[in-house]
Amino acid sequence: MHHAEVVIVGGGIVGASIAYHLTAAGCKGVLIVEREKHQGKGSTGKSMGGVRAQFATPVNIQMSQYSIPFYAGFEESLGHPSGYRAQGYLFLAGDGRVAPGLLAFQSGIAKTSGREGCPHGDCRRGACKVPATAHR
């Protein structure tokens, strides 16, 4: 390619996602520039692969609400397995001093989402299980 309409620096999950969405929207000249020999060798390849569904800011919540169903339907849409399996996760407060912060964090998420209190049940005991369906 001698001419690119868009040049994306980095071929990890963010760069690949941007390239995919641009081409899906009709952009023809998309080029990914990656400094490593293979894509995903940076922070993407070093992650454990978890997909977080809980955030306290609206933009991160919106990204999760979009990306989790995208991963779930990846193979059906693109014809390649992603290996995604919805598992949920668990926030634990190690002791009584940490539990109020956990409750405040979960309550903040609930307020950002337009709900009251912990969005997933009783977080007052120092633990809050976030089910795999938390993005809905």
Instruction: Give the span between the Cα atoms of 116 and 113, in whole angstroms.
Output: 9
Same domain, 54 and 29: no
Total domain count, the chain: 2
Range of the domain at 73: 48-136
Give the start-end residues of each E strand in 34-136: 89-92, 127-130
pLDDT tens digit sequence for 61-105: 788 888 888 989 999 999 999 888 887 777 777 777 777 777 777
* Phi, psi dihedral angles at 31 (to 5 degrees): -125, 130
Partners of 53 in the β-ladder: none
| pLDDT value, residue 58 | 79
Same domain, 61 and 125: yes
Considering only the C-alpha atoms of the chain, give the largest distance between any 2 of them, rounded to a whole number of Å. 61
Write down how long the chain is. Answer: 136
Q: Is the model's pTM score more than 0.75? A: no
Weakest-pLDDT range from 24-28, 77-81, 113-117: 113-117
